[in-house]
């Protein structure tokens, strides 16, 4: 996230006074924080200060801030002089004894290492931030000096004598908690094709950060799949079907583990899903440039397609990944490894809820659709997005991508079903159910893309149109 420099005058205050008078410090800091480009965007009425803590570590001073709005957020900040080589920082305080910089510390390994070493820090509200150790791993001081920082969804890779570990943090407390909860369930029931959690930082019952072992890999399956259909020699069809089958199998094993702690979908649950989906549809068509009114004119079709979720009443539901796509699978030596179980970044309300496994399958099918649309965009260089979108709706496009997409989808679902054994009838594999969740996901993607990547919004738009025309 790009942060603009912001100057604030605090003449007459020393650094020590700033730290000791947190209320005064935050009265200046909080309004500035709310002006930043949050991800997701802050509520209109902003956030209220919930709690704070101060942590001293060597020459560094850290300030932890908890904010409460429609969600609860945690923001770690580092206070000190502007470090050499860093040209982006949050706020600059001018004091009588010099310049004090405040920058976000979520990519500062020293902050997390200091908290882990201290074990427990008391907050201004009398609560505690606690490091919970799940294994006997000791990173030691050497880990800081041997740090290799990789910024991916606010992840840090710590490399030291004990090996490599990934720090996973999130601005939203419930998001990190959901991921840790899923990882515990998966490990409990023998699923080993994901990260191994070695410890967490908690604030009461909520998770601020967790540490897991680094998974050695050759990149994501998004990169591998794109290379396969773009430049790798050999039989693209065979390789893509292998990828689809392998990812389907891993997804099934993940779901089988999660279903050990399942519940059953009630009619009110399914009604809530349908209402949520229609709300997304209406929001999506309000944000996108429609294709001759085809999306707006298909609202009744969308409502009918979403009614396919009715088949799920009485079926098993569980925690699900909710943001499963090709970029969430790593190409590891032993096969695909699934990561980033926090859920969708701008999805509200349902990330921690039990949902049908169909939702994860639908998000993967949407990911394959993205893959082939982006390849078509390259091959159709010079063609309009509309022309590419129209051709990708046909069974036979000029590049043979639609047919390859269908074969990949079939391989993925086949690989998934095979893990449940012969004779198993999984309601969540019903085409109407999958179609409903694919349309819901496409609507989410339209909202996301128009907000953050408007140049990409045409892909889910045409994906939604294809779903509506395929099912009617």
- pLDDT tens digits, residue range 380-428? 988 998 999 999 988 888 999 999 999 999 999 999 999 998 767 799 9
Q: Classify domain 221-470 at the CATH class level.
A: alpha beta
Tell me how far apart the alpha carbons of residues 93 and 243 are, in angstroms, rounded to a whole number. Answer: 53
Select the highest-mean-pLDDT range: 28-42, 127-141, 146-160, 446-460: 446-460
Cis peptide before 245 (omega within 30 of 0): no
Tell me the average pLDDT of the chain. 83
Q: How many CB atoms lie within 10 A of CB 368?
A: 23
pLDDT (tens digit, 9 = 90+) per residue, 2-26? 333 445 555 555 656 666 666 666 7
Whole-number Å distance between alpha carbons of 367 and 442: 10
The reported pLDDT for the residue numbered 312 is 97
Each residue's pLDDT tens digit, 190-216: 999 998 888 888 898 888 888 888 888
The residue ranges of every structural domain in the chain are 7-105, 132-213, 221-470
User: What distance in Å separates the CA atoms of residue 290 and residue 458, rounded to the nearest whole number?
Assistant: 10
CATH of domain 132-213: 3.30.200
Whether the pLDDT of residue 129 is over 70: the answer is yes
Sequence-distant (6+) residues with CB within 8 A of 42 are 34, 69
d(CA 430, CA 427): 5
Confidence of residue 85 (pLDDT cuts 50, 70, 90): very low
Decide if 276 contacts 350 (C-beta within 8 A): yes
43 pLDDT band, cuts 50/70/90, is low
Q: What is the reported pLDDT for 18?
A: 63
Once rounded to an integer, what is the mean pLDDT over residues 249-276? 96
Lowest mean pLDDT among 77-91, 143-157, 250-264, 284-298: 143-157
In the numeric block, the tokens 């039989």 are attached to 235
Following DSSP, what letter does each residue of 271-338 receive, concatenated?
A: HHHHHHHHHHHHHHHHHS--STTTTGGGHHHHHHHHGGGGGGTTSEEB---SS--GGGEEEETTEEEE
């Amino acid at each position: 996230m790009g942060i603009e420099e912001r100057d604030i005058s605090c003449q007459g205050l020393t650094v020590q006074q700033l730290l000791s008078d947190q209320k005064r410090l935050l009265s200046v800091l909080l309004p500035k924080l709310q002006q930043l480009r949050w991800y997701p965007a802050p509520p209109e009425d902003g956030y209220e200060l919930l709690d704070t803590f101060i942590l001293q570590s060597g020459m560094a001073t850290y300030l932890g801030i908890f904010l409460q709005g429609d969600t609860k957020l945690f923001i770690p900040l580092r206070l000190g002089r502007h470090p050499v080589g860093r040209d982006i920082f949050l706020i600059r305080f001018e004091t009588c004894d010099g310049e004090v910089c405040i920058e976000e510390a979520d990519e500062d390994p020293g902050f997390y290492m200091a908290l882990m070493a201290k074990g427990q820090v008391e907050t201004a509200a009398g609560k505690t931030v606690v490091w919970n150790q799940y294994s006997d791993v000791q990173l030691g001081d050497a880990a800081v000096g041997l740090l290799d920082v990789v910024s991916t969804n606010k992840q840090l890779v710590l490399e030291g004598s004990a090996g490599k570990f990934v720090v996973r943090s999130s601005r939203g407390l419930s998001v990190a908690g959901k991921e840790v909860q899923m990882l515990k369930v998966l490990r409990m029931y023998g699923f080993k094709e994901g990260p191994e959690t070695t410890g967490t930082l908690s604030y009461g019952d909520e998770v601020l950060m967790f540490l897991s072992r680094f998974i050695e890999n050759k990149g994501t399956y998004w990169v591998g799949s794109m290379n396969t259909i773009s430049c790798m020699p050999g039989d693209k069809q065979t390789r893509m079907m292998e990828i689809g089958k392998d990812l389907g199998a891993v997804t099934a094993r993940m779901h089988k583990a999660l279903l050990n702690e399942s519940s059953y979908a009630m009619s009110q649950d399914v009604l809530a899903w349908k209402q949520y989906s229609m709300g997304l549809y209406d929001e999506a068509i309000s944000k996108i440039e429609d294709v001759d009114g085809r999306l707006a004119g298909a609202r009744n079709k969308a409502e009918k397609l979403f009614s396919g979720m009715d088949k799920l009443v009485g079926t098993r539901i569980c925690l699900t990944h909710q943001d499963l796509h090709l970029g969430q699978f790593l190409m590891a030596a032993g096969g695909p490894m699934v990561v980033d179980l926090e859920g969708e970044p701008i999805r509200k309300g349902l990330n921690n809820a039990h949902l049908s496994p169909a939702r994860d399958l639908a998000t993967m099918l949407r990911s394959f659709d993205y893959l082939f649309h982006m390849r078509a965009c390259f091959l159709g260089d010079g063609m309009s997005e509309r022309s590419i979108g129209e051709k990708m709706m046909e069974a036979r496009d000029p590049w043979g991508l639609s047919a390859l997409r269908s074969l990949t989808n079939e391989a993925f679902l086949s690989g998934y079903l095979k893990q449940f054994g012969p004779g198993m009838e999984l309601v969540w594999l019903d085409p109407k159910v999958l179609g409903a969740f694919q349309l819901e996901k496409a609507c989410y993607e339209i909202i996301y893309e128009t907000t953050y990547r408007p140049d990409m919004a045409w892909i889910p738009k045409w994906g939604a149109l294809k779903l509506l025309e395929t099912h009617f």
